[in-house]
Chain A
Amino acid sequence: MLDAISGVVAAWQSLLGWFAAAFGIEMLQYGFMQRAILVGLCIGVMAPLIGTFLVHRQLALIGDALAHTAFAGVAVGLFVNAVFDTGVSPYLSAVVVAAIAALLIEVISEKTDVYNDVSMAIVLSTGFALGTVLISINAGGLAVGVNQYLFGNLATVSVENASLLLVLFALIVAVVAVAYKQLVYVTFDETAAKVAGLNVKWYNRMTAMLTALVVVGAMQIMGVILVAAMLVVPVAGAAQLARSFRGALLASIVLAELAVIVGITMAYEFEATAGGVIVLVAVAIYVGAVLIGKFRERRSDVVSVAESGQDESTAD
């Protein structure tokens, strides 16, 4: 199974390699950049895909909370590897710990009936504190390796990690494709969704778990600290431009991909941290979207005033 997936990664790499040779694009001829772009493109789809459902439930912060607990998961993985001399991928332990934290946040919110930012903040800081403590008591030069998880790194995307991300990507896209209608209903009108017979609790838990998967998947490039931005910023930009939910979802993916491609290219050219550059590009796109949105709104106000004038005259 995993062989087949690394086969996909290899195929992608040879495709980009051919592309690099054919068009003389230097950036694309390196194996690590080929994998980084693959991972980036996947992030550009799955982060806004899940982020759209979070932002419109006013849960923009949950990504941050889960990213910080994912860091605890990374620390657990590194710790276990050092103590028991095993080779568990820290991303795998991060998936497990973040998923547990996601459930925890959901259960807390079910019990208290509201999402409060206090419980989110507590989960966030507990996760990060646990991570730093585990790493500090784990002697043996681990501090060097931690930066890669905190800030992300284009150069460390291995075939194995790229394969793991492809699995997460496929899972997330498949779940949203199957449960799209239910997720939209729950996001739009939770009570009515309950009355309509949907198991809202179950869908909320699922969304939180999917968020955990996205966060861990995107962490390789974005880093713990910035990963949540990809869940929120493109979605906020798209909401300025689109009228329909489907349109907003597609627009958020387009904006995120734009940020990823421009960001990775600039990071490569200027030798800057990719996560930071991607987020800055995404924010710049957001600002642009807000301006376009304001401009359009002003214009449509004029139109709707004219329309309502028409309505009145036909009503008479």
Chain B
Amino acid sequence: MNVVETRNLTFGYTATPVVEDVNLTVEAGEFLGIVGPNGSGKSTLLKLLLGLLEPDSGEARLFGEHATAFDDGERIGYVAQSVTTDTSEMPITVREAVLMGRYPHVGFGRITEDDRRKAREALETVGMSHLADRRVARLSGGQRQRTYIARALAAEAELLVLDEPTVGVDAESVAAFFELLADLHEFGLTVLLIEHDVGTVVERASTVLCMNREVLFHGSPDDFVESTALAEAYGATPKIMGVSE
């Protein structure tokens, strides 16, 4: 069964479609990088895939179910675009935030020692154990990233969805973050990543989707570099120069 499957997926906030006629399949274990210029509909596509938006026409399926009706929340770990720049002063510790990954499993029941252990292990995996009692608001962008990834790991998610996770994170942390992502992918996690740095996607992803409202390219990173999709999407000055950094 495919993790994600769409058929003629079309959506617009107004009459003008932002995402048009997208046919996409993501298999278990795939690492799909989604690239495209600002306003190309990447985040909207992600929201459609997650069932946060209702498509105007066509359909999106998550683990074989209609995305909007999908309620096995613990199978998906989601890291939103705003997490690194969010200035919320809400008092909450890293430990508490990661434990939230267990909430969909627990429902209205009680958190058990087993849940706490899984949260601890997730913190260890992302290397955040020493900051477990720190307030999330006091973390750097990179540390916050890791916290949210740990939440997805604690949930034992099968699909990790990241919307521009490296905005506002320093270069060193970004490199370490992608190392972590590669490890998790190796370990068997399916990854969906929106990333503005095309070079990073080409380097890390197993499949690339390049879009600007419509899908311009969908295939292997090597073929993507050879294709004209990038020039089409971004205009005359392709950003792929980043590959040779």
Contact B93 A196 (CB under 8 A): no
In the bound assembly, the distance between CA atoms of A12 and B97 in angstroms comes to 40
In the bound assembly, the distance between CA atoms of A191 and B76 in angstroms comes to 12
0 or 1 for each of A207-238: is its CB under 8 Å from B? (1 = yes): 00000000000000000000000000000001
Contact A191 B78 (CB under 8 A): yes
Q: Which residue of B52, B74, B148, B151 contacts A194 across the interface (Cβ within 8 Å)?
A: B52
Given contacts A181-B103, A239-B91, contact A244 B96 (CB under 8 A): yes
In the bound assembly, the distance between CA atoms of A198 and B51 in angstroms comes to 12
Name the B residues within 8 Å of A163 (CB-CB): none
Query: In chain A between 180 and 201, which residues have their CB closer than 8 angstroms to a CB of chain B?
Result: 181-182, 184-185, 187-189, 191-192, 194-198
A contact patch SS: helix
Contact A244 B92 (CB under 8 A): yes
0 or 1 for each of A273-291: is its CB under 8 Å from B? (1 = yes): 0000000000000000000
Contact B78 A245 (CB under 8 A): no
Contact B100 A185 (CB under 8 A): yes
In the bound assembly, the distance between CA atoms of A179 and B103 in angstroms comes to 11
Q: Which residue of A179, A198, A239, A244 contacts B89 across the interface (Cβ within 8 Å)?
A: A239
Name the A residues within 8 Å of B91 (CB-CB): 56, 238-239, 242-245, 247-248
Report the minimum CB–CB distance from A307 to chain B (whole Å). 8
Given contacts A196-B104, A243-B133, contact A191 B74 (CB under 8 A): no
Query: In chain B between 114 and 166, which residues have their CB closer than 8 angstroms to a CB of chain A?
Result: 133-135, 148, 151, 155, 161
Contact B100 A188 (CB under 8 A): yes
Whether, in the assembled complex, A83 has its beta carbon less than 8 Å from a beta carbon of chain B, the answer is: no
In the bound assembly, the distance between CA atoms of A249 and B135 in angstroms comes to 15
Given contacts A196-B103, A247-B91, contact A189 B73 (CB under 8 A): no
0 or 1 for each of A241-263: is its CB under 8 Å from B? (1 = yes): 01111111000000000000000
Whether, in the assembled complex, A305 has its beta carbon less than 8 Å from a beta carbon of chain B, the answer is: no
Given contacts A187-B90, A192-B80, A242-B91, contact A197 B71 (CB under 8 A): yes
In the bound assembly, the distance between CA atoms of A248 and B148 in angstroms comes to 21
Contact A196 B73 (CB under 8 A): yes
Name the A residues within 8 Å of B148 (CB-CB): 192
User: Can you name the residue of chain B whose Cβ is closest to the Cβ of A243?
Assistant: B135
User: Can you name the residue of chain B whose Cβ is closest to the Cβ of A57?
Assistant: B90
Contact A188 B92 (CB under 8 A): yes
Contact B106 A181 (CB under 8 A): yes
User: Can you name the residue of chain B whose Cβ is closest to the Cβ of A244?
Assistant: B93
Mind listing 20 A-B residue pairs with CB under 8 Å?
Answer: A188-B97, A189-B80, A189-B100, A191-B80, A192-B148, A195-B76, A195-B78, A196-B73, A196-B78, A196-B100, A197-B71, A197-B104, A239-B89, A243-B93, A243-B133, A243-B134, A244-B91, A245-B90, A245-B92, A245-B93
Taking Cβ atoms with an 8 Å cutoff, the residues of B that contact A are 50, 52, 70-74, 76, 78-80, 88-93, 95-97, 100, 103-104, 106, 108, 111, 133-135, 148, 151, 155, 161
Q: A181-B106, A243-B91, A243-B134 are in contact. List 11 more A-B contacts (CB 8 A).
A: A56-B91, A185-B103, A187-B90, A188-B97, A192-B80, A192-B151, A195-B52, A197-B71, A197-B74, A238-B91, A244-B96
